[in-house]
Amino acid sequence: MSTQLNGKIALVTGGTSGIGLATAQELVEQGARVFITGRRQAELDAAVERIGSSATGIRADASVMADLDAVFAQIAKSAGRLDILFANAGGGDMLPLGAITEEHFDRIFATNVRGVLFTVQKALPLLVNGASIILTGSTTSVKGTASFSVYSASKAAVRNFARSWALDLQGRGIRVNVVSPGPVRTPGLGDLVPDEHRQGLFDALAAQVPLGRLGEPQEIGKVVAFLASDASSFINGAELFVDGGMAQI
């Protein structure tokens, strides 16, 4: 067991599956105490059971301000501070230009943009000086993707949040970085298409990756843990692509 994050207090939003769950597991493995959020209580309970006694689940929807207030009130009461914030809650589905609805736009931006903004802003009183904030981006922040423009635009917004917030927070020594995964084998990726097309989607995406495969959630979790740790103490305002080379070549 690594002790890189011994004694650190972390919050992972959207921590019940995929990248969020894998990251919470990695942070705990490195010695942190982790709070995770999720919208569904049953999934939250199952995730906490998987992570173990160093995890606490708080039911919350990142797009609902009252839920966020309750999250930080509970962390304030039981831990008193935050050293690491992984604002990961988000998602999206596919609609081509011409078929985009107000509901589609509002739902994706509510979680991916407004939710990330207010998660970070409401965390500020709890974040210690020198804390690390990590936001979940995507290779779509720099690449066009057919039928995925609203999600892609939301992740481009997240990318710029990190640039601007690194300046806003420079007086406190708080670092803000973005981890941008390529295609990763998560439930969310599979849910983009009907079950019978899932393997076809995975194969098509893997073919676009120079390493020739999808990423695994644990691979993203290790990079988030690196950005959370003192090993990355001079990395700030950056977008770190964890994409097998997909957006780099």
Which residues carry out catalysis?
Answer: 151
| Residue 246, CA atoms < 13 Å, CB-side half-sphere | 28
What strand order describes the sheet that includes 33-38? 55-59, 33-38, 9-12, 82-87, 127-136, 175-181, 239-242
Three-state DSSP class for residue 243: coil
- Strand (E) positions, 31-183? 33-38, 55-59, 82-87, 127-136, 175-181
How far apart are alpha carbons 84 and 244 in whole angstroms?
26
CA distances from 63 to 38, 67, 185 (A): 11, 8, 25
DSSP 8-state class, residue 114: I
Structure tokens at 66: 């009252």
| Residue 239, CA atoms < 13 Å, CB-side half-sphere | 24
How far apart are alpha carbons 123 and 111 in whole angstroms?
16
Q: Which of 23, 45, 123, 126 has its CA nearest to residue 79?
A: 126
DSSP 8-state class, residue 101: -
Residues ≥6 apart with Cβ < 8 Å to 88: 12, 13, 14, 15, 19, 20, 23, 134, 135, 136
